[in-house]
Amino acid sequence: MADARMPAPAGPTVRVQHEVRARHEFRGMRTAEHFFRVPLDHFGGSPGGETITVFAREYVSAAHSEEQAAELPWLLFLQGGPGGRGNRFGSLGGWSKAAARDFRILMLDQRGTGLSSPIDRTTLPLRGPAAAQAAYLEHFRADSIVADAELVRDALGADPWTVYGQSYGGFCALTYLSFAPQGLREVLVTGGLAPLAGPADDVYRATFQRVAARNAEYFAWYPEDRAAVERIARHLRHTTEYLPDGGPLTVERFQMVGAFLGGNTRVDSLHHLLEDAFTETAAGPRLSDAFLDQVQGIVSRRSNPLYALMHESIYGQGQATGWAAWRVLDEYPEFKPDAEPLLLTGEMVYPWYFEQDPALQPLRGVAELLAAKDDWKQLYDRGQLAANTVPVAAAVYSDDIYVDRKLSLETASAVRGLQVWESGDFHHDGIADDGEGIFARLLGMARSGGR
C-alpha cells in the first residue's frame, strides 16, 4: 500500500485531452508528436482545476509497417535531469536503434521541460511572487511525472509498458515502482538508483569524494592540464572576464567544467576545452572567445533552469535540503575556489548560481524558498519496493561521480527482485558510449530473471 504521506497518482478516471499534431518520416524512422492536457496537481487538485501541457514524441522504426508498428509494445524513456527535455533524435542509433526493433518508443518531455509547459526565468515569474512560484514547483517532482506518465499511457490505450530510466529518469522509475507498479511491464535503469531516504548531505559527501578521485585520474592522463587549470584560475582571480551572456566567469564557475569528468569519451573533451583557453591580445593574455563560448554552454542554466531550482529537491524526503552541497563543501576545502591546486567540480548546485548566472538571477527568491522547504513528500514507498513483482534490471557504474555506487547498491537491495549489473567500463553517460549493448543486456536480464 502506498505511503500515506503521498497519495497515489491520479488514475485513468481523469479525462485527458490528447492531440497528435504532426507525423513525419525520415532517416529510417517515423515520428508522431503527442500533446496531452493533464492536471497540474494530481494529488490535491479539484476536478476542473488547472491543467498543463505534457509533450511526448513517438519514434518507430520504418522497418515496421504502420500495421506492424501499431501492434508493438510501448517503451517510455525517462530522461536525466531534473530539467532536461527528452532527447531529439535525428536518426535511430545506440539504445534507440536496439529498442526500436521491438518497441514503439515514447520520448517524454517531463513537465516543465521542452514543450511540456516549460519553466524558465520568463515563464515562472508569471505565477506571481516567490512563494507562489515555489508552490507551483512543488508539482514538478518525480511523483507528478509518474502520474503524468500513467495518464499518458491510458490516453494511448497502452498496456503496461517498459520504462527505461537514465540517471534522474531512474529515480522517477523507482517512484513509478512505488506508486503505480500496475503500469509497468518491466523497468530498466542506467546510472539512476536513487537513495531512498535522506539526508541529501550523504549524497554530496559521496559525490565530493568521487569527484576528487576523478580529478586525480584525469590529471594523471593529462598532466599538462594541471598547469592549464592553475593558469586559468590565477587569471580569473585578477582579471575580470565575461561570458557571451554578460555573466562573469569566476573561478567557481570555471570549476563547473568538471561536468566533463562524468563521462567516458566526454572526459577527453575537457582537454580540448582547456587547450583553447588563452589568446594573445594588445592588453596581454586573455581568455579566448572560443573558450568563453564553450564554457558558457557548460555553466549557464539558461536552457534548463529547473536543474538548478529542483536538483536538491530530488533528495528531499520530508526534510529541508538547505543547500546541502554548499554546506558539505566546508568538509572538503580542496574544492574551494581559492584552493591550490584547484579541483574541478561536478553536478553540485550552490546558492551563488543565482547571483552569477544571469538566467537564474530572477529566480533567486524561489530558490531560497525551495532550499528551506521542510515538508517535501516522500517519493518512494519502501514497503511496496520490498514487495515488488515488476522485473527490474539496473546498470550501476563503479566509478560514477553523480550517482554513488554504495548508495545505489543499498537501494538495489531494498527492491525485491532487482537485478544489478555493475560495470567499471562506463561512467554516468554509459549509454552514450555503448547504448545498444547496455540496453540489450538489461532487457535480457529483466526478462530472464538476471540469468
Check if 400 is active-site: no
Rg (CA), the chain: 22
**DSSP state, 117?**
S
Q: How far apart are CA 19 and CA 37, in angstroms?
A: 9
Neighbours of 49 (CB within 10 A): 10
d(CA 445, CA 451): 6
Cα 294 off chain centre by: 21
**Which residue type occupies 330?**
D
CA 387, 393, 399, 403 dihedral sign is: negative
Catalytic residue selected from 102, 245, 375, 425: 375
Indicate if 428 belongs to the active site: yes
Please name every residue paired with 186 in a beta bridge, in sequence order, or none if there are none. 162
Active site residue 375: yes
**Catalytic residue (choose from 61, 96, 144, 167):** 167
Cell reading at 54: 505534457
354: cell is: 543565482
Q: At what angle do helices 267-275 and 289-299 cross, to 10 degrees?
A: 150
Output DSSP code: residue 54: E
Three-class SS of residue 190?
strand
The active-site residue, picked from 64, 120, 428, 429, is: 428
Catalytic residues: 167, 375, 428
